Amino acid sequence: MPLTPVPRAAAAAAPAPAKKRRCEEYPALAREAERLTREALERIDDVTAWSLEMRASKKEQRQLQRMRKQYRQQQHRAGGVPVPGGGRAEDRSKELASVIVKLLRGNHGPSSAGN
């Protein structure tokens, strides 16, 4: 039984419409990803959402670094134990948590910006 050869022109023409169709689906996929992200963020508590936003925002990271520096300077000026710049990760996480709590209690930060 001889095999019939597949025409090359027909095989080459098939991927083009599929590629075009996939490009047309990008906006729909982006909308779906945005919807799923929004739903996921609605399910987690405000502090976690705010910390995720902080991680994503370079501007807010720089602001937090300035606040940490000011805090260390205030501690040093007040005669308290200066907070070392290269402290342990546990100390940094406690400091970050206290800053976040202070900001949330003071109605600052991105979570209250839309309210």
| pLDDT tens column, 67-82 | 888 888 888 888 765 5
Query: Can you give the C-alpha Rg of the chain in angstroms?
Result: 27
- Min mean pLDDT across 6-15, 18-27, 36-45, 74-83 is at 6-15
Q: What span, in angstroms and rounded, lies between the C-alpha atoms of 49 and 52? A: 5
Q: What is the dihedral of CA 94, 97, 98, 103, to 10 degrees?
A: 160
- pLDDT for res 38: 82
Put residue 107 in one of left, alpha, beta given phi > 0 → left and psi -120 to 50 → alpha: left
What average pLDDT score do residues 53-62 get? 72
Closest CA to 64 of 106, 92, 89: 92
Asked if 7 and 14 count as a contact pair (C-beta separation under 8 A), the reply is no
